């Protein structure tokens, strides 16, 4: 009985570890390299009054299997209510990509929730970003 419990515990640990180690991630960053490693990552950015940009970088533990993705951007109010803001499409992608990035310009400060959807309308990743004026 103890052996069965130990085996079950080990399998559960491996299952949790694999999900934590190999999950898909949306980074907000100021730059990235040729291998998809982000630099200047943050969940807060300061932009000038005329607008400013940073990158959305998505890393997957598997191949994309799509030729486009969509970034759905929602404004989040003080009560946590999300209001649709815009959708940005990224096309001409390779089905074999395991990471990709998009330069995105913001003009308005606020708290935003970004969802990345694949060509099957599944959410690949999501994250929150806060933008302030400089």
CATH assignment of the domain containing 114: 2.60.40.1930
| Alpha-carbon dihedral 99, 103, 105, 110, rounded to 10 degrees | 20
Q: Is residue 87, in this structure, part of any structural domain at all?
A: yes
- What does the pLDDT average to over 109-120? 98
Whether residue 8 is contained in a domain is answered as no
User: Is residue 100 a part of any domain in this protein?
Assistant: yes
Kindly state whether residue 16 falls inside one of the protein's structural domains.
Answer: no
- Note the pTM of the prediction, 2 decimals: 0.83
Closest CA to 123 of 82, 81, 78, 66: 66
**5 band by pLDDT with thresholds 50, 70 and 90:** very low
Rounded Cα gap, residues 51 and 23, in angstroms: 32
User: Is 80 a residue whose pLDDT tops 80?
Assistant: yes
Percent residues over pLDDT 90 in the chain: 83
Q: What pLDDT shows up at residue 38?
A: 98
Average pLDDT over residues 67-81: 98
The whole-number average pLDDT for the span 13-22 is: 43
Query: Is residue 42 domain-resident?
Result: yes
Instruction: Please report whether residue 10 resides in a domain.
Output: no
pLDDT value of position 7: 37
Instruction: Evaluate if residue 22 carries a pLDDT over 90.
Output: no
70 within some domain: yes
- Overall domain count for the chain: 1
Average predicted confidence (pLDDT) for the chain: 89
Q: Identify the pLDDT of residue 2.
A: 54
Q: Can you tell me the mean pLDDT for 83-97? A: 97
Task: Flag whether pLDDT at 36 surpasses 60.
Answer: yes
Q: Which domain holds residue 52?
A: 23-133
Confirm whether 34 is domain-assigned: yes
């Amino acid at each position: 009985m103890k052996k069965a419990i130990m085996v079950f515990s080990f399998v559960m640990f491996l299952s949790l570890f694999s999900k934590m180690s190999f999950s898909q991630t949306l980074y907000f960053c100021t730059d990235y390299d040729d291998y998809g490693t982000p630099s200047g990552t943050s969940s807060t950015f300061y932009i000038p009054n005329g607008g400013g940009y940073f990158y959305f970088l998505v890393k997957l533990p598997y191949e994309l299997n799509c030729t486009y993705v969509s970034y759905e951007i929602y404004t989040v109010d003080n009560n946590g209510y999300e209001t649709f803001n815009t959708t940005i499409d990224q096309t001409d992608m390779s089905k074999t990509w395991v990471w990709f990035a998009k330069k995105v310009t913001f003009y308005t400060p606020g708290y935003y929730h970004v969802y990345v959807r694949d060509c099957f309308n599944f959410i690949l990743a999501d994250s929150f970003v806060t933008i302030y004026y400089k």
